[in-house]
Each structure stands twice: as structure tokens, then as C-alpha cells.
Amino acid sequence: MIDRRDDSGTGSVRTLLWCIPLFLIVHNAEEALTMPSWLASNLPLLRSKFFFFNHLTFSSGQLYISLFLVTIVPLTIAVVVLNKGLTKNSVMLMLTLQSVIGWNAVVPHVTGTILLGIYNPGLLTAVVINIPFTFLLFKEILAFKIINTKEIKRILMAGAVVYLPLVYLNHVIAENAAALLMGMLPGIR
């Protein structure tokens, strides 16, 4: 079992790992507040710069369902994992989750802002919270000697490999759920 405190008094492994879903909630709230109107204004630009946006449809309902899913699924994982005794595998699972969040901060948020030259919803929390926390978390977990540098590299690679398929799967699920809801409740878009 793992639930140590480090010598510097920065807190336990469990406390650090609870920050993952909490910071993700803050990030997703920024997106929920800014994404629908931003996307409505900038979808033509996205489609002109990135061909794959020509094959995706977006609605406010789909965006909110998508954000709900990427909030509730990681939170559920955290509740299940962190309410049990921590093991090396459970820590690695949570770190993989943070790896995906870290890649999300870099790929659409920072890179998208650079390529488009405009604010990208989620950029503020990606730069101020998600990227610095990813580095801090991995550094602290290494200091706890729970995993080694080689395992960190594998976790970061796993996050990179699963990131885009997870984003696409989430989009498809949210798109279908929104279509189903619109069929049941015609007033929802």
C-alpha cells in the first residue's frame, strides 16, 4: 500500500492524486463557459485550418455532454481508485489519466492557440493549472519513489497514444447522446 507523506510536507500521494479530477473540473468549467460561443464563431476557421473538422459536427448539446463525460468519467475513476488502498498500479492509472490531461493541455489548447493566433477555450487553465501540475505531479511521484523515470516515460507515451482515440470516442458518444436527447426533447439543441 502507498500513502506516504514526503519529507518536505507537501502532502500525501492521495492528496496529489485527488488534485487530478479537481483541476480537471476547473478546466472543463472554463471550456463550458467559453466553448459553445467560441466554436460557433470560429468553426469556419477551424475547418479551413484543420481538415478533420470538416468531418465533425458540433452542437451546444453535444459540447456540454462531451464536457460532462470528460468530467464524470475521470472523477468516477478517481473515486474508485482513491477510496481504496493505493497500489503502484492505481497510482500508474491516475498518472496515465493526468498524462492524457497534460497532452490535452498541449495539443488543442497551446498548439491550437499558436496555430490559430487566437484564444482557444480552456487555454487559461491549461497553461496556469494543467501543464504546471502535470510536471509537479510527476516530479513528486518520482520523489516518493513509487515509480521510476522509465515508467514515467511509458505513462507519458500511453497518454499520448490514447489521447486522440479517447477524444474522438467521447465526441461520437456525445454526438449520439445529443441526437437522442434532441429526438426525445425537441427544444434541446
> What pLDDT does 56 receive?
82
> What pLDDT does 51 receive?
85
Sequence-distant (6+) residues with CB within 8 A of 115 are 49
Give the tens place of pLDDT for each residue, 105-119. 999 999 999 999 999
Is 11 within a domain?
no
For residues 45-62, average pLDDT: 87
Is 42 within a domain?
yes
Which structural domain, as residue segments, surrounds residue 40? 27-184
> What pLDDT does 52 receive?
85
What sign does the CA torsion over 172, 174, 177, 179 have? negative
> What pLDDT does 162 receive?
97
| Domain count of the fold of the chain | 1
> What pLDDT does 10 receive?
42
Q: Which of 55-59, 72-76, 122-126, 163-167 has the lowest mean pLDDT?
A: 55-59
> What pLDDT does 58 receive?
85
Give the tens place of pLDDT for each residue, 124-183. 999 999 999 999 999 999 999 999 999 999 999 999 999 999 999 999 999 999 989 877
- pLDDT classification of 59: cutoffs 50, 70, 90: confident
CA–CA dist 41, 39 (Å, integer): 5
- Residues 16 and 137: beta-carbon distance below 8 Å: yes
Nearest to 128 by CA among 33, 15, 23: 23
Is 139 within a domain?
yes
> What pLDDT does 7 receive?
46
5: β partners? 12
Is 21 within a domain?
no
> What pLDDT does 186 receive?
64
> What pLDDT does 2 receive?
62
Give the tens place of pLDDT for each residue, 17-39. 999 999 999 999 999 999 999 99
pLDDT at residue 96 greater than cutoff 50: yes
Q: Which of 7-16, 86-95, 118-127, 168-177 has the lowest mean pLDDT?
A: 7-16
Is 16 within a domain?
no
Average pLDDT of the residues of the chain: 91
CA–CA dist 186, 170 (Å, integer): 23
Is 156 within a domain?
yes
Is 17 within a domain?
no
Is 32 within a domain?
yes
- Residues 62 and 174: beta-carbon distance below 8 Å: yes
